Structure 1
Amino acid sequence: MMDIRKIMELLPHRYPFLLVDRIIEVVPGKRVVGLKNVTINEPCFQGHFPEHPILPGVLIVEAMAQVGGVFALTSDNIGENKVSYFVGIDKARFRRPVRPGDTIRIEMEQVSVKRGIYTFAGKAYVDGKVVAEAQLMATFADK
């Protein structure tokens, strides 16, 4: 388990763009599970949409990427002086809306690591139902 303080040691993201609240499971080299608590205080809800707040899909994908980044940084000896760069998204699908009060459970599985490119397949769930899924790619560079 990792709390927000440990996540902040690993990721450079900060409010309002730090989108992972907790890591609840890590199986090195295989998978990671993280949580994102969605509140009405998210800045995006001012405009998306004030009368019917829905978390934008792109933020769900970013949360998935951040969970994958935590996983790669802790599973491999990448080093703490590295920053992750999102380099690709494939097969992204959005299945259900995510609203304030929801907790997103993000499950990411490592598919491969080739030439410094990490590929993850992931799904995001709310109340046991898939809300989004995607295949994500990232690499790491010096800060």
Structure 2
Amino acid sequence: MRPVLNADQIRNILPHKWPFLFLDKVIQLEPGKSGIGIKNVTISEPFFEGHFPNESIMPGVLIIEALAQMTAVVYVTGELAKIDAHGACSPKIDPSSYVGYLVSVRNMKFLKPVVPGDQLELHVQIGRSLGVISQVEITAYVDKKKVATGSIQVSKRVEEI
């Protein structure tokens, strides 16, 4: 499947950089509402050196971070679409300036370990908002099997408040 956003485009949207960028491409996107992204998990990830040396497992908090980064892409593209009805980004606008903050994680369940060679499919659905806080349902899959699910709350960037 051809990506909606490739790695270079994602790097232009998110402020995160290697080794803390956990989103390789976006394959489905409804700006401001929902999206599906891909994280290819490789043995060369720095976190595998210590988690765990003899049994490499992607830390759950990094799965949450990957889902939060996908959420940021959905949110930022929604905000940019409001600015430009065509969804194009003016060179004067810094998309990463719209990325907010992870506020809370709720009811997170990790159902299966994620290991080198897996391809994480990251599903996010932005739900209701109250003021500057939005509820987001998040689910990660490997080979169409659910490996993590829960919800997060995110806030708009402080400068927007």
In structure 2, distance between residues paired with 1:2 and 1:83: 17
Does 1:49 pair with 2:52? yes
SS in 1 for 2:99: strand
AA in 2 matched with 1:48:
H
CA shift at 1:118, angstroms? 1.9
In structure 1, distance between residues paired with 2:27 and 2:101: 23
AA in 1 matched with 2:108:
A
In structure 1, distance between residues paired with 2:99 and 2:71: 13
1:64-103 equivalent positions in 2, closer than 5 A: 64-77=67-80, 80=95, 81-103=97-119
Does 1:59 pair with 2:75? no
1:1-143 equivalent positions in 2, closer than 5 A: 1-77=4-80, 80=95, 81-141=97-157, 142=159
CA shift at 1:29, angstroms? 4.1
CA shift at 1:30, angstroms? 3.0
Identity %: 38
In structure 2, distance between residues paired with 1:43 and 1:84: 25
Moved over 3 A (4+): none
CA RMSD of aligned residues (A): 1.6
Return the index of the structure with the highest Cα Rg.
Answer: 2
SS in 2 for 1:76: helix
More strand by percentage? 1
SS in 2 for 1:96: coil
AA in 1 matched with 2:132:
G
Give the stretch that moved more between structures: 63-72 or 73-82: 73-82
**TM-score normalised by L of structure 1:** 0.93
SS in 1 for 2:156: strand
Tell me, which stretches of 5 or more residues in structure 2 are unaligned? Answer: 83-92
In structure 2, distance between residues paired with 1:37 and 1:123: 16
More helix by percentage? 2
Q: Decide whether the 8 Å contact of 2:26 with 2:35 is kept in 1.
A: yes
CA shift at 1:43, angstroms? 0.6
CA shift at 1:31, angstroms? 1.4
Tell me, which stretches of 5 or more residues in structure 1 are unaligned? Answer: none
CA shift at 1:69, angstroms? 0.7
